[in-house]
Amino acid sequence: MSTETNEAYLLELRNLQRELVLLQQSVQSEGRRLLVIFEGRDTAGKGGAIRRFSEHLNPRFLKIIALAKPSEIETKQWFFQRYLRHLPNAGEIVFFDRSWYNRAVVEPVMNFCTAQQYERFKSQVLTVENMLIDDGIQLIKLWFSINREAQSQRIERRSSDILYQWKLSTIDALAQEKWNDFTHYKEKMFESTHSEKSPWIIIDGNDKATARMEAIRYVLSQCDYHRKGELKVSLTPDSKIVTRYQSREK
């Protein structure tokens, strides 16, 4: 029996999702703003995690943002502009399925940006995030991490199963070939964009089901909300699955 069909797992997941509903009710009633960024390599499980997060939330107070390739107009705007228009309003939760961090990893690996654009992003991003946080937005940054073998297996599944072929992209096709390049830029991203105020939280995504549940647990652990813990489900994430990037804090 797989983890995702295990009765005990499903019961715990449902209780964590009930806690998410309590969190959303508090965000809504108190006019708070919560922004969660989901990042990671292709096939790392970001989309599946977002589905588990959002499954029982009220869609009127939730936005899931997965932006397509920028338009010609957007390429001439300030880089952050097209993302900032999707920030949460009072009472809203927003999930970014990839974010401005495309410019930190995907774009330089795939030559979608210039070296100057890349460096400008690195010099601006923490300032932008600090401004959002200072204005009252709660920002959580999650990086879903997988090993090379797991990615290879998932790409093969996408290629061979028609139910998953819509997920295939040019980047997927090159993910294994450019594995080391992605690793290089991922590490540079952590080094330059992790701070005490805006830390990177790394989720071990090799087991999708566990990663999804522990990611939910982590977000809940970081938020205050009415009736928190009422369902007696653990809100302490597994330290073997959820880790904080370690560096000199900025």
pLDDT of 120-171, one tens digit each? 999 999 999 999 999 999 999 999 999 999 999 988 887 777 766 666 666 6
User: In the structure, what pLDDT confidence band is assigned to residue 249 with cuts at 50, 70 and 90?
Assistant: very low
Residue 35: φ, ψ to 5°: -125, 120
> Would you state the pLDDT for residue 159?
74
* Position 248 pLDDT exceeds 50: no
- pTM, two decimal places: 0.93
Query: Could you tell me if 193 and 39 are in contact, meaning their C-beta atoms sit under 8 angstroms apart?
Result: no
Residue 155: the pLDDT is 84
Q: How far apart are CA 8 and CA 12, in angstroms?
A: 6
Following CA atoms 44, 45, 50, 55 in sequence, which dihedral angle do they give, to the nearest 10 degrees?
Answer: 180
Q: Which of 242, 149, 132, 146 is nearest to 197 (CA)?
A: 132
| Range with lowest mean pLDDT among 2-11, 22-31, 220-229 | 2-11
Interval 28-54 mean pLDDT:
97
Alpha carbon distances (Å) from 20 to 52, 64, 75, 92, 163: 10, 15, 36, 13, 29
Q: What would the mean pLDDT of 67-84 be, rounded to a whole number?
A: 96
Model confidence pLDDT, tens digit, residues 179-217: 999 999 999 999 999 999 999 999 999 999 999 999 999
Q: Which of 5, 7, 11, 95 is nearest to 54 (CA)?
A: 95
Residue 180 has a pLDDT of: 96
CATH number assigned to the domain with residue range 3-244, chosen from the 4 options 3.40.50.300, 3.40.50.460, 3.30.420.240, 2.60.130.10? 3.40.50.300
Cα 27 to Cα 29: distance, rounded to the nearest angstrom: 6
